[in-house]
Amino acid sequence: MTIVRLGYVAMSVELKNSSPSQTMTFTQFQKIRDREAAIRKLERIALANLENTHRLLKHNVFHEIHFYRLTSRLIPLANHEELADWNYMKPLKEKLREIGEYAEKNSMRIDFHPDHFVVLNSSKMDVLKNSIKTLKMHYLILKGMAINPAHRCVLHVGGNYNETVKSLERFIDNWMSVPKSIQQLIILENDDTSFTLDDTLYLCEKLGIPLVFDYHHHLAHHQNINWEENWERVITTWKDSPLPIKMHISSPKSDAEFRHHSDYVDVSMFFEFLNKIKGSVPEIHCMIEAKKKDEALFALIEDIKKREDVEMIDGSSFYLK
C-alpha cells in the first residue's frame, strides 16, 4: 500500500492572527531616520514572523499535519542591496534553532517555494545573481534550523522567452554558476504556461534534480496528456533524495479560469491521480495549493474519510488500499 501525506502552504485560515509574512517596505525603512532603530524594527518583525511560524507548527502537530511549506517572506528586506551589511541571521539564531528542533521532534517535513522573481534561466546576469542570493537566504534559514537543506526548495524552470529549447539550455548553462550547496537545495516543478512535464524532466534527468509533479499544471499545459507514461521517470529523479517523492495538488477555479486555483481540492480529481500511482511508491507527500490553505486540507480529509478505498492513519495521512 502507498502512504499519502497531505500538507498546506504558509498561512492558516483556522489559526487567527498568525501571519508569518508581516513585512516592511524599503520606503517605510527609509522613513525611520535612525538606521539602527530601523534595522532593529526589521528584526522584531522577522522574529514575530518566526514566532507565528512556530505557532503554525504547533497547530499542525495538534491536527496531525506532517508537511508544511514555509513562507519565503519570513525576513523582510533580507536581500535588499541597501542592507548588504545587515547580518539578519544573528538575532534570529535562537528562534530558528527552536523551530527546527520542534519540526524534527515531530517528524515534520518543511520546505520552501520562492517567489516568481527567482529565475535561474535568465539571460540577465543581475537577475541570476539576485536569484542565487535569494536561494542562499533560504539555505541559511534551513541551516539555522539545523534541517538538511537537500531538496527543500521548489522552483519553476523560469522564463520561456518564446524559445523553449534555448531557455532550457540556458538553465543548464546557468546551473554551472550555482554553488553546489544551492544546487542541492533545488527541486523543479512543471508549470502551467511555459515548461511541461516533458521539458522539466529533460532538465531533471540531465542535472540530477528531483521533479515535483504538479497534476493541475499538467492538465493545463502539456505536450502529451498521458503523464503516467513518464511516472516511472519522475520517481527515478528522487532516487538519491533523503525525502519521499512530493507532488502538488490543486483544482481549477472553473472551466473558464482553469489555470487558477480553487478554494478547495476536488477529491475526485485527486483520486484520479492517486489511483494511477497507487503501489508505485511506498510514500508520497502531496502539497495542497488551494486558496483556503489548511481549511482546504481539513475539507479534503473529510471527503477522503467517506471513501472505501483508503485507510486513515491520522489527521492528514492515509493508506491507499
| pLDDT tens string 256-286 | 999 999 999 999 999 999 999 999 999 999 9
Summarised one tens digit per residue, pLDDT across range 23-77 is 999 999 999 999 999 999 999 999 999 999 999 999 999 999 999 999 999 999 9
* Angle subtended at Cα 204 by Cα 202 and Cα 210, rounded to the nearest 5 degrees: 150
**H-helix or E-strand spanning residue 236:** helix 231-236
DSSP letters of 139-169? HHHHHHTT---TT-EEEE----TT-HHHHHH
Phi/psi for 269 (5° steps) reads -65, -40
Residue 246's contacts (CB-CB under 8 Å, 6 or more residues apart) are 67, 111, 187, 212, 284, 285, 286, 287
Cell 527609509, residue located: 30
> What span, in angstroms and rounded, lies between the C-alpha atoms of 219 and 259?
9
> What span, in angstroms and rounded, lies between the C-alpha atoms of 61 and 126?
41
Alpha-carbon radius of gyration of the chain: 20
DSSP letters of 192-233? SSS--HHHHHHHHHHHT--EEEEHHHHHHS-S-S-GGGGHHH
Cα–Cα nearest to 240, from 211, 215, 213, 278: 211
The pLDDT of residue 258 is 95
Cα–Cα nearest to 87, from 36, 26, 50: 36
Helices marked H in 243-292: 267-277
> Low-confidence residues of the chain, pLDDT below 50?
none
Strand partners, 283: 3
The pLDDT of residue 46 is 98
The pLDDT of residue 104 is 97
The pLDDT of residue 310 is 98
Which superfamily does 8-240 belong to? Answer: Divalent-metal-dependent TIM barrel enzymes (3.20.20.150)
Q: Where are the domains of the chain?
A: 8-240
